[in-house]
Amino acid sequence: MKTSTVAWHELKSRLARIYDFHSAAGLLIWDQQTNMPPGGVPARAEALATLSTVAHEHLVDDETRCLLDTIGDDFDATTEDAALVRLVRRDYERATKLPVRLVADFSRATTLAEPAWVAARARSDWAAFAPHLERILTLQQEAAEYIGYTTHPYDALLDTFEPGATKLELETVFDELKTPLIALVARINDAQTSAENEKRDAPLYGDFDEAKQEAFGREIVERFGYDFRRGRQDRAVHPFCISFGNGDVRITTRFDREWLSPALFGTLHESGHALYEQGIDSKYARTPAANGCSMGVHESQSRLWENIVGRSLPFWQFFYPRLQAAFPEHFSGIELARFYRAINTVERTPIRVEADEVTYNLHVLVRFEIEVALFENRLKVADLPAAWNEKMRDYLGITPATDAEGALQDIHWANGSFAYFPTYTVGNVLAVQLYDTALATHPSITDEITRGEFATLHGWLAENIYRHGKRYEPAPLIERATGKPLNTAPYLRYLHTKFGELYDLKTTTLTG
């Protein structure tokens, strides 16, 4: 009979092996997205399948259960070890609750659905994608029943991305945002049409040497605190951040020679994710706690650096002269105020990934309401595009010209990621709540930003968010950091103040 101390050591070395398999798989994925020649796809798919199978087998092995049983609950619930055991139990239970048959069916269904979605989007042909989505939805509804939930099947899937969150809580968040955001977007739209026919975002288009774009972005993220001795930046078509432990956290960027925004704000965004991962305490190395807390909390970090810092006036008071020096032929005749308006252009567009700070959450709301309706069998897959277009009209005042610009635009449903979208809004809301708390504690942060200094803000985030990794679930982490649960009021205030000034809206109604 093992003692619980021996079992604990054995469990930790098992967890380290599982982490290493995932890490190796991650490196293959990074390579696939950055360097691999197209001919590598079939062999790489096999290698990734092998590694994920081995990692899965290590987790669901009977030995994991035996070790967890031996360790028991004999922990002070407030300790880090107790947090680790909770994480392993959770992973183990979720992994063993699903029948092998269901996991295999899901993998097959999504493998078929992704290329079908690419083809369907290219032809804007919803009917071609619909059978795949129906299949995936059925399997995910089945999975929710196996995983289990207290009040709503959607919660079972939401828990994968945002542990502890519920559909009901998200509905409250969206209820608080919906009316004020629809009203704000409408008022901005009215203000814009009455203004002279100015193309607000024109300064962001021109001819921008890629090496200069790269050097400019690099200077910013180094000043943020991204450590290139523990990271690197490469090019990828779909930018992402990936971590192999806090000593190796990589970001990727996409450059557009004629449009400044994708590389500039994409780099700021991914560096926000990377700062988080680089800041996780080394004591969690090679454990399930060695990553960020949830998708929503992670997104709060990318949004904070990209939008709240990176699209603010104090930030550009420091960096705009540098941008002008890098591209003098383009920016010398454009004053800071004009550039600041350009990077904060609000526009009712059909595409979520191009959406600005004000309209973004309305795009998410469309998807959230549709997902819930699908899960409650109130909406048929065949009727989804009609429901989509109606909501786009109601919330954003536009109708997508085609389904490619509408219900077919995102890959998420094709790869089975239901309940992922709302985490974007959690991130947006939380970003402001965290920033406001940091600012209340250290009012010098704004002045520091005008000098291109970020150490106080970075330090506050590292202390209150980064270092904890996955030790706390989102709700207790947010409560510890800000003294409150997730709260939409600071976010709405932020948007009304910032965009009220930018669009010269006379009376700004504060709601929420």
Which residues contact Zn ion (rule: CB under 5 A)? 302
> How far is residue 315 CA from its own chain's centroid?
23
Q: How far is the CB of 429 from Zn ion (least distance, A)?
A: 15
Q: Which is nearer to Zn ion, 129 or 161 (CB)?
A: 161
Q: Which is nearer to Zn ion, 302 or 409 (CB)?
A: 302
Q: Is 270 a catalytic residue?
A: yes
- Report which DSSP code applies to 234: E
Q: How far is the CB of 411 from Zn ion (least distance, A)?
A: 14
Q: How far is the CB of 217 from Zn ion (least distance, A)?
A: 16
CA-based torsion, 499, 503, 506, 511: positive or negative: negative
Contact in structure between 26 and 291 (CB atoms under 8 Å): no
- Report which DSSP code applies to 165: -
Q: How far is the CB of 303 from Zn ion (least distance, A)?
A: 8
Question: Which of 162, 176, 270, 306 is labelled catalytic?
Answer: 270
Q: Which is nearer to Zn ion, 271 or 287 (CB)?
A: 271
Q: How far is the CB of 218 from Zn ion (least distance, A)?
A: 19
* Cα separations in angstroms, 408 against 130, 134, 363, 404, 462: 10, 14, 13, 5, 38
Q: How far is the CB of 294 from Zn ion (least distance, A)?
A: 12
Q: Which is nearer to Zn ion, 177 or 242 (CB)?
A: 242
**Distance separating the N- and C-terminal Cα atoms of the chain:** 58
How far apart CA 115 and CA 112 sit, in angstroms, is 6
The residue number with the shortest CB distance to Zn ion is: 302
What is the maximal distance between C-alpha atoms in the chain?
A: 81
Q: How far is the CB of 272 from Zn ion (least distance, A)?
A: 8
Identity of the amino acid at 46: E
Full strand arrangement of the beta sheet holding 249-253? 231-235, 249-253, 241-243
Q: Which is nearer to Zn ion, 302 or 312 (CB)?
A: 302
Residue 299: CB partners within 8 Å, gap ≥ 6?
423, 424, 426, 427, 428, 431
CA-based torsion, 376, 378, 380, 384: positive or negative: negative
Burial class (CB in 10 A: 0-12, 13-18, 19+), 338: middle
Q: Which is nearer to Zn ion, 243 or 302 (CB)?
A: 302
Contact in structure between 153 and 326 (CB atoms under 8 Å): no
Q: Which helix (H) or strand (E) holds 243?
A: strand 241-243
Burial class (CB in 10 A: 0-12, 13-18, 19+), 483: exposed
Closest by CA position to 471, among listed 351, 293, 318, 306: 293
Closest by CA position to 254, among listed 274, 269, 272: 269
Q: How far is the CB of 353 from Zn ion (least distance, A)?
A: 11
Catalytic residues, which ones? 270
